[in-house]
């Protein structure tokens, strides 16, 4: 007989959440794995003695964790999801008939708490991982990823700077008690230099197709640059671009990952207009602090060529940090046709003429470099003049002031070439999968708040959520049976023996076939 189920509502139910949720449920295991009560002390400074009770800090952070665990970026969707899940209700201590906090309460509380509270939670989870032996500190792989800001490119407006810097300076001097500095004047002039360069390739204003606003003023095409534009929606967001992708407003997430169990040991957010090398000191110092608090010393730092710069190498050298960072692509260990003498700080050309050090200069980006220049007398009668200097009067060479640091790193990488190649592989397989997981599955792809402080909270929450999942998986994994361990070991032994046998066989055959005696023709028998 075919059955048919109908719902018959009851007036009264006698049911408990504990009875509905299995013991091995993820959120029940998570609640047992970490005690969140330390958050009451960490957030006590943000509350007074009187007034209406706020949302429980533990409840707030648990709800946030649920959002990052399930890759939910919207607070509205997060509260809806929590309301519909019985195991989440048990996790946040809300009964079936209780209404969860409003989504706006979650947003306001996130704004209320400072970055140090989120850092406290991150360090707590990291300490749990260290206690279980998941972090050794020998190698820390560093990398970064853009985090999309909560602002549109359509919100960009051009920075308002007076066209005449001199007039601007005079006006300030006349109408203000504060004298304008030459630095401010230089910055204004530099801004206009950037604007001139940015608009250099733009259409001219003498065509009939030029667009005019309602007042008859020419509307120039936008060149989206951080030097010329900003977003009033989120002033801390910066325009950035990846190869092959359109420009967008981003933040810059930095990570340091331990190579033992891929636990994140350092995380922070920075402005997206910075280079990786400019962020190296911040992430390394943060990682050192987190490890030192748990009595672990920082070992090697692994990074790609994007973190290579003179200032970064100088910081590593001054702090005696062992790093493996390939030099950037423009670095050349030697100059073709010239020999550098370190003792006298000069170059010698093919004809034996000297190019001594003349002076130091600064690039428009603010980088210092050294100038080496020959004398005109030496170059006048040189047979290589045309191919060497062309129509110039003398030969000029430029080196960064940090060239000795680049040379030291180059020697280090070439002296231990095999180890350096291994470190490249270790870095890529350590930090890149972590970044991929955070971006695609742990809600780090987009920041749903505004401001650099909130972006830093976002990166910390994504990182500690990842560590918490690692920790929970590590402590709940079932030990292998003795028979399984023995079978695994036997399989490894058999594989090793086969490898040795085939290697020996191939070597023997190669020597037997390709040795010289085998090519000597045998004497014919009469």
pLDDT tens digit sequence for 117-137: 999 999 999 999 999 999 999
Taking the C-alpha atoms of residue 108 and residue 112, their distance in angstroms, rounded to an integer, is 6
Residue 378 has pLDDT above 70, yes or no: yes
Whether residues 76 and 21 fall in one domain: yes
Angle ∠(165,168,169) on CA atoms, nearest 5: 90
Share of the chain above pLDDT 90, in %: 55
Q: Of 21-25, 380-384, 429-433, which gets the smallest average pLDDT?
A: 380-384
Whether residues 49 and 164 fall in one domain: no
pLDDT for the residue numbered 525? 47
Whether residues 144 and 162 fall in one domain: no
pLDDT for the residue numbered 13? 75
Whether residues 185 and 320 fall in one domain: no
Whether residues 100 and 222 fall in one domain: no
Whether residues 359 and 378 fall in one domain: yes
Whether residues 251 and 272 fall in one domain: yes
Q: Which of 380, 401, 422 is the last residue of a domain?
A: 401
Whether residues 144 and 265 fall in one domain: yes
Taking the C-alpha atoms of residue 457 and residue 307, their distance in angstroms, rounded to an integer, is 24
The mean pLDDT of 92-96, rounded to a whole number, is 92
Predicted confidence band of residue 451 (pLDDT cuts 50, 70, 90): very high
Whether residues 161 and 146 fall in one domain: no
Residue 463 within any structural domain of the chain? yes
**Mean model confidence pLDDT for the chain:** 83
Residue 120 within any structural domain of the chain? no
pLDDT for the residue numbered 160? 63
Give 488 or 24, the one with higher predicted confidence. 24
Strands 229-230 and 338-341: unpaired
**What residues make up the domain containing 29?**
17-113
Q: Report how many domains make up the chain.
A: 4
Taking the alpha carbons at both ends of the chain, their separation in whole angstroms is 100
Residue 29 within any structural domain of the chain? yes
pLDDT for the residue numbered 201? 55
Residue 26: phi and psi, rounded to 5, are -55, -45
pLDDT tens digit sequence for 156-201: 887 765 444 555 555 555 555 444 455 555 655 665 565 565 555 5
pLDDT tens digit sequence for 265-317: 999 999 999 999 999 999 999 999 999 999 999 999 999 999 999 999 999 99
pLDDT for the residue numbered 342? 86
Residue 515 within any structural domain of the chain? no
Taking the C-alpha atoms of residue 138 and residue 301, their distance in angstroms, rounded to an integer, is 9
Predicted confidence band of residue 510 (pLDDT cuts 50, 70, 90): low
Residue 66 within any structural domain of the chain? yes
DSSP 164-180: -HHHHHHHHHHH-SSPP
CATH number at residue 135: 3.30.420.10
CB distance 459 to 268 below 8 Å: yes
Q: Which class for 233: exposed (0-12), middle (13-18), buried (19 or more C-beta within 10 A)?
A: middle
Residue carrying the six token digits 């400074």: 45
Q: pTM to 2 decimals? A: 0.79
Residue 362 within any structural domain of the chain? yes
Residue 118 within any structural domain of the chain? no
Share of the chain above pLDDT 70, in %: 78
Taking the C-alpha atoms of residue 216 and residue 229, their distance in angstroms, rounded to an integer, is 22
Residue 512 within any structural domain of the chain? no
Each residue of 113-132: b (16+ CB within 10 Å) or e? bebebbbbbbbbbbebbbee
Whether residues 92 and 136 fall in one domain: no
Whether residues 318 and 417 fall in one domain: yes
Whether residues 185 and 310 fall in one domain: no
């Amino acid at each position: 007989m075919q059955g048919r189920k109908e719902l018959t509502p009851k007036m009264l139910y006698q049911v408990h959440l504990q009875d509905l949720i299995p013991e091995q449920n993820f959120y029940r295991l998570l609640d047992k794995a970490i005690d969140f009560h330390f958050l009451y002390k960490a957030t006590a400074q943000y509350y007074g003695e009187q007034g209406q009770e706020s949302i429980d800090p533990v409840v707030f952070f648990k709800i946030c964790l649920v959002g990052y665990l399930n890759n939910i970026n919207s607070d509205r969707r997060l509260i809806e999801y929590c309301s519909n899940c019985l195991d989440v209700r048990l996790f946040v201590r809300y009964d079936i008939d209780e209404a969860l906090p409003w989504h706006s309460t979650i947003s306001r509380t996130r704004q209320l708490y400072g970055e140090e509270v989120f850092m406290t939670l991150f360090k707590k989870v990291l300490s749990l991982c260290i206690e279980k032996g998941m972090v050794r500190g020998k190698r820390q792989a560093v990398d970064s990823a853009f985090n999309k800001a909560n602002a549109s490119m359509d919100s960009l407006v051009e920075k308002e700077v007076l066209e005449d810097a001199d007039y601007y300076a005079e006006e300030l001097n006349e109408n203000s008690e504060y004298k304008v500095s030459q630095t401010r004047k230089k910055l204004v002039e530099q801004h206009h230099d950037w604007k001139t360069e940015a608009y250099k390739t733009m259409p001219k204003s003498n065509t009939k197709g030029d667009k005019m606003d309602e007042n008859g003023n020419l509307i120039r095409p936008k060149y989206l640059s951080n030097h010329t534009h900003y977003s009033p929606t989120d002033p801390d967001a910066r325009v950035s671009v990846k190869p092959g992708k359109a420009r967008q407003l981003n933040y810059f997430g930095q990570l340091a990952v331990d190579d033992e169990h891929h636990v994140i040991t350092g995380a922070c957010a920075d402005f997206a207009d910075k280079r990786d090398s400019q962020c190296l000191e911040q992430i390394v110092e943060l990682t050192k602090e987190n490890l030192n608090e748990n009595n672990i010393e920082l070992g090697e730092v692994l990074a790609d060529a994007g973190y290579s710069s003179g200032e970064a190498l100088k910081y590593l050298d001054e702090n005696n940090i062992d790093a493996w960072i390939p030099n950037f692509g423009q670095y050349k260990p030697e100059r073709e046709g010239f020999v550098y003498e370190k003792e006298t700080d000069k170059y010698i050309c093919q004809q034996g003429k000297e190019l001594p050090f003349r002076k130091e200069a600064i690039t428009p980006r603010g980088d210092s470099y050294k100038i080496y220049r020959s004398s005109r007398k030496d170059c006048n009668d040189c047979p290589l003049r045309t191919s060497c200097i062309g129509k110039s009067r003398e030969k000029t060479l430029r080196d960064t002031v940090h060239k000795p640091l680049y040379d030291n790193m180059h020697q280090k990488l070439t002296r231990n070439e095999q180890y350096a190649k291994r470190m490249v592989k270790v870095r890529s397989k350590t930090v890149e999968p972590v970044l991929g997981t955070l971006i695609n599955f742990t809600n780090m792809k987009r920041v749903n708040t505004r401001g650099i402080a909130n972006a830093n909270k976002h990166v910390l929450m994504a990182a500690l959520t990842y560590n918490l999942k690692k920790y929970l998986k590590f402590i709940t994994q079932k030990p292998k049976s003795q028979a399984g361990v023995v079978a695994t070991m036997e399989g490894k032994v058999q594989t090793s023996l086969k490898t040795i046998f085939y290697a020996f066989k191939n070597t023997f055959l190669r020597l037997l076939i390709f040795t010289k005696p085998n090519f000597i023709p045998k004497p014919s028998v009469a």
